Amino acid sequence: MTNNVHLCHVRAGLFLVIAGLLFGLFLGVSFGVNEDAYKQFVSEGITANPEVHDAKSKDKIWRYAQRAHFHATGISACSLGLVILLALSNMRARLKSVSALLIGLGNLYPLAWFSMYLLAPGIGREAAHEHILTEMLTYTSVTALLAGLLLLCANLFLGMLRETDTGGRSS
């Protein structure tokens, strides 16, 4: 019996997933170690730029950092499961690599929330939401994750994109 699971085909995606998980865990630990530093960053930005803020800014901007943490750990956990399914699938090796990379790129989404946290104190919440960096991270990550998931689903549920049989063996 041979082991058909080759992590080398999903390595790039797996790296991105683990990096996303580490980012989320690091944020959580850093909140526990020094949450006040995050809140002080927000307060100083609001004080320096009061014209772009309202009474809700302080709490909402702090919430962006929390959302980065929540999304990083949640998307990473989900993506890890998807990449493992992909590694176990009978998808063509090249498409496994592409799909794993796309799924891994979904882990950029938490960086959109973190960019809003970093940008909002200086430019305001709405401008941070609409900033090119935030939008680029959002659209790239969501599109990539969905594309990778669609490839995986096409293989798992529709029997598409399979490795070709060699030597008369069936998959």
Task: Return the structure tokens found at 26.
Answer: 């690091």
- What pLDDT was estimated at residue 6? 74
- What pLDDT was estimated at residue 169? 43
Residues 6+ apart with CB under 8 A from 100: 9, 10, 11, 12, 13, 14, 83, 86, 87, 148
- What pLDDT was estimated at residue 163? 87
CB atoms within 10 A of CB 90: 13
Kindly give the parts of the chain with pLDDT less than 50: 1-2, 165-171
d(CA 10, CA 98): 8
Q: Is residue 76 within 8 Å of 89, Cβ to Cβ?
A: no
- What pLDDT was estimated at residue 3? 54
- From the number of C-beta atoms within 10 Å of its C-beta (0-12, 13-18, 19+), residue 123 rates as middle
The sign of the CA dihedral 69, 35, 115, 23 is negative
pTM, to two decimals: 0.90
